[in-house]
Amino acid sequence: MKSTMTAALLGAFLITACGGPTAPAEPTAEEMGQDEVGAPMEPAPDPRPMVFEAMSKTAEAFTGAITLTAEPRSGLNSPPSMKLVGANGLTYVTELLPGAAEQATVIDWKALFGADVAVTGDAAPGAPSIDIHSIAREEIPAGAVNGGFCGKDAAASFIAMATGLDSGGQPFISIAAFKGNVWPPAAETDLCGTFNYIPPAPPL
């Protein structure tokens, strides 16, 4: 029950931060690269942050606890955006890349995250799934002694966020960081590392 409730809580946040799937019957103004005349601005996402405690040694070493916050979209055509801030001040602002996980054919997602994870966006509620985010901004403060997700010598360009994972009854999320200028990765060597975090407890 704890795992199911936590997955539901995290799912609600990710729907806010990343948006839900849509399937219009015909091309819309947004799909044509333009806002519909008179269309209202999308409501701002829930500003309440979610704090995830570091679970793996890499998470402890590179970020400590992280805070995820859904960022407002700048316009109807803008992708969903999210901010990730580590306890040491390491900061990432990301943009969702819909459908990008299944493009990364050189990555063995099951081996990476230790579970079968859905990559097509149609996972059952609470089931392990992946979202890919491009990194729009990386800020590495002096307090981040190990550098960013890809260390001191390379910038992280993309993250894969796996949710719905479980280890011995403990739900967790895992973030895999990638370097390189384009997605999908050209090789597994573009993977910088994985970082595991414990989601907040569900409300009583």
> Residue 188 phi/psi, 5° resolution?
-65, -20
81, 73 contact by CB (below 8 A): yes
Q: What residues form DSSP beta bridges with 158? A: 134, 178
- Count CB neighbours of 195 within 10 A: 25
List the domain boundaries for the chain: 2-19+45-73+88-198
**CA nearest neighbour of 94 among 110, 81, 79:** 81
CA distances from 152 to 18, 144, 192 (A): 29, 9, 11
pLDDT along the chain (204 residues), means of 10: 44 48 44 52 66 98 97 84 97 96 95 94 84 97 96 97 96 97 95 97 78
Only one residue has tokens 């990476």, namely 112
> Residue 158 phi/psi, 5° resolution?
-145, 150
Q: Determine the pLDDT at residue 74.
A: 74
Only one residue has tokens 């409300």, namely 203
Only one residue has tokens 């081996």, namely 111
Only one residue has tokens 């519909």, namely 36
Separation of alpha carbons 192 and 125, rounded Å: 29
Q: Determine the pLDDT at residue 170.
A: 96
Q: Determine the pLDDT at residue 100.
A: 96
Beta-carbon-side half-sphere exposure of residue 75 (alpha carbons within 13 Å): 8
